[in-house]
Chain A
């Protein structure tokens, strides 16, 4: 055995367990789902056969799927843009030095530490149309979770509350690596605070902003627990998102084939969005990365 061969062997040998693990835990289920998507698999009907594109053809005509896709897109757009705007504002604030900053920083992260299901449970109480604190504060009697016009917005607000801290965390980290000298130099040159923000903070923070955008979009597009607990997709499917729909197909009605097709469609939706961001991110790194 030559030394080169032995080295190559040990290199691959050492990689082996990791490859097996990732392959078994991550890749296998994904491929299996992909394969199921091309099958008609209904254990109750005793049906298990190859179906080609049948599921995808049905999907194109399935009003409930498009309804779920529209809600998912709306959820992503609104929640992510709110989280980013709010997150940036809070991060800038927390980056200033003021008395009690440590406490304020700790408090801001509390919602992120609460598990989604628990958060959803107490938002359920906040939104309760009779006892809920939201109606009490506003002096209204709005049926937040039961009115088709409000329910999705109520879910978005709860998501914003829950995940803005995550955005703050990322942006704050990004802000802290911007060298203080840059600001000092700019101030000597007579720059105002808007100019400091516009020409120093924003460009240098851009890669981090895009990263936060990427993470949040991927997460928001797969929203499940929050909505599942708050409304279960109701009223009248007005809050049903892609993953909630896929869950119902797969686990409540055992349509393994079609459910997998919906899961694959969700995956493609998330993938498309992510690739678009990654491209933007790559460009941002190139221009401002160093």
Chain B
């Protein structure tokens, strides 16, 4: 009886395992292979179909199926985590937020691209963005398009009071105070940024901190939160609200879109945001159309501007069954001519730096001239597999500083303790 049970269980196992092996259809040499490209709904993502057609025309043996990820980046991350932890092989090329690459790479979920992509292909890509793809000597992704924190300013108001765009935070505060004093408009505020408790706050705070020569981590594991430069920058964030009255206290509820809505309706002189806001602000229906300028995020005296890097990267699922075809697609997407179309058709900023000096591009998109310096100075958030955990610890502590709940030293000591504990547990 028992023997029979063992035998039948064994048979069952054989059927299941054997069945899963025979799932891989034996593909003949002239039958096309279909790879699945998981991507999020980037602005004008519909145009991706054109790029895919181009790829398929060049590679007759490969078909690409697009599959769209959930709307929010949190849900996208969750989708990848759940599927990859279960070793899902039903998608091949992955579109990832830059901060996930080291994490997924370390988890063993991404294929190492070093043997597949040549240094000549990588050389023209934004170096800061590429830096975020390396874990040790392994390359787990390639930058597809990049983002950088920028400062938007109301050109008309600055002109009216005889100011140029500010380079330092001191200039920004002086300018904002002069404009606010001159306008006498109770609904106008000086400087809005992302102060809500979420990832955007870390991006914004990092620009204040690095603009003062501080940082979050030294190397990839040593917290630098109680460094005087870091604390001074955080103190200044609080002062913007409570001493200079340049930033409204409701900044604690602002994410990117809420800040953009305020700025777009003419309610702020300055705004820290990503380049995506430009096309909304310059839309003919926008109340501030034609009255906005873009420049580098400010820095403190004696230091320089360090915009935070954002953007999306392409990687390859380690459990993919069509790695050869998938890598061809990834390499296609970082090619000069394709990256140019990424800019012109998808409306996002390509990682390929040479695209920005292309004559056609410069003519079609003149505002890029003001944006390129930000892309050239950009720095990634700490590149470490533990970034998401570190960020989860930092968000409430930074929020406590911005909300005026705890002084920076106390908040950062608490964060440093938690991060040290976390990294010790590695």
Interface residues in chain A, defined as those with a beta carbon under 8 Å from any beta carbon in chain B: 43-46, 64, 128-130, 143, 145-148, 231-238, 240, 248, 251-255
Contacts and interface: CB of A to CB of B under 8 A. Distances in A.
18 contacts: A44-B386, A129-B249, A129-B253, A143-B252, A146-B249, A146-B250, A234-B196, A234-B197, A235-B197, A235-B252, A235-B402, A236-B197, A236-B405, A236-B406, A237-B197, A240-B396, A253-B389, A254-B388
Contacts of A46: 106-108
A130 B252 contact: no
Contacts of A231: 196-197
Contact of A233 (B74, B396, B403, B426): B396
Contacts of B426: 45
Interface of B: 74, 77-78, 81, 85, 103, 106-108, 187, 195-198, 248-253, 262, 267, 385-386, 388-389, 392, 395-397, 399-400, 402-403, 405-406, 425-426
Nearest to B426: A45
Contacts of A248: 392
A147 B251 CA distance: 10
Going nearest first, the 6 A-B pairs with the smallest beta carbon separation are: A234-B197, A146-B252, A236-B400, A146-B253, A237-B396, A129-B250
A43 to B, nearest CB: 5
A175 to B, nearest CB: 41
B282 to A, nearest CB: 23
**Residue with the highest number of chain A CB atoms closer than 10 Å, among B248, B252, B395, B400:** B252
Given A147-B249, A240-B396, A248-B392, A235 B78 contact: no
A249 to B, nearest CB: 8
A234 B198 contact: yes
B197 A233 contact: yes
Contacts of A252: 74, 77, 388, 392
Contact of B253 (A64, A145, A236): A145
Nearest to A67: B396
A130 B388 contact: no
Contacts of B195: 146
Given A46-B107, A253-B388, A235 B405 contact: yes
A240 B395 CA distance: 12
Nearest to A141: B250
Contacts of B403: 146-148, 235-236, 238
A234 B252 contact: yes
The dominant DSSP class at the A interface is: loop
A64 B406 CA distance: 15
B405 A148 contact: yes
Contacts of B106: 44-46
A232 B399 CA distance: 12
Nearest to B249: A143
A148 to B, nearest CB: 5
Given A130-B250, A143-B249, A252-B74, A235 B399 contact: yes
Contacts of B196: 146, 231-232, 234-235
Contacts of A129: 248-250, 253
B419 to A, nearest CB: 12
A212 B380 CA distance: 51
A70 to B, nearest CB: 14
B173 to A, nearest CB: 21
A44 B425 CA distance: 12
Contacts of B402: 235
Contacts of B187: 130
A51 B228 CA distance: 39
A146 B78 CA distance: 27
A226 to B, nearest CB: 16
A253 B81 CA distance: 10
Most buried by B among A148, A236, A237, A255: A236
A143 B252 CA distance: 9
Contact of A43 (B107, B395, B406): B107
B405 A251 contact: no
A98 B302 CA distance: 75
A236 B267 CA distance: 26
Given A130-B267, A252-B74, A234 B107 contact: no
Contact of A232 (B198, B267, B406, B425): B198
A255 B389 contact: yes
A251 B389 CA distance: 11
A44 B104 CA distance: 7
A240 B197 CA distance: 11
A5 to B, nearest CB: 19
Given A146-B196, A147-B403, A236-B405, 20 more contacts: A43-B107, A45-B106, A45-B425, A46-B107, A46-B108, A130-B250, A146-B195, A146-B252, A146-B403, A147-B252, A231-B196, A232-B198, A234-B197, A234-B396, A235-B402, A235-B405, A251-B78, A254-B103, A254-B107, A255-B389
Contacts of A145: 252-253
A128 B267 CA distance: 14
Contacts of A64: 396
Nearest to B397: A236
Most chain B CB within a 10 A radius of its CB, from A46, A148, A252: A252
Contacts of A255: 389
Contacts of B252: 143, 145-147, 234-235
B248 to A, nearest CB: 8
B74 A43 contact: no
Given A231-B197, A234-B196, A146 B396 contact: no
Contact of A254 (B81, B405, B425): B81
A195 B42 CA distance: 65
Contact of A251 (B81, B107, B386, B400): B81
Contact of A143 (B78, B250, B395): B250
A232 B197 CA distance: 7
A123 to B, nearest CB: 12
Contacts of B81: 43, 251, 254
B149 to A, nearest CB: 20
Contacts of A234: 196-198, 252, 395-396, 399
B298 to A, nearest CB: 23
Contacts of B78: 251
B234 to A, nearest CB: 13
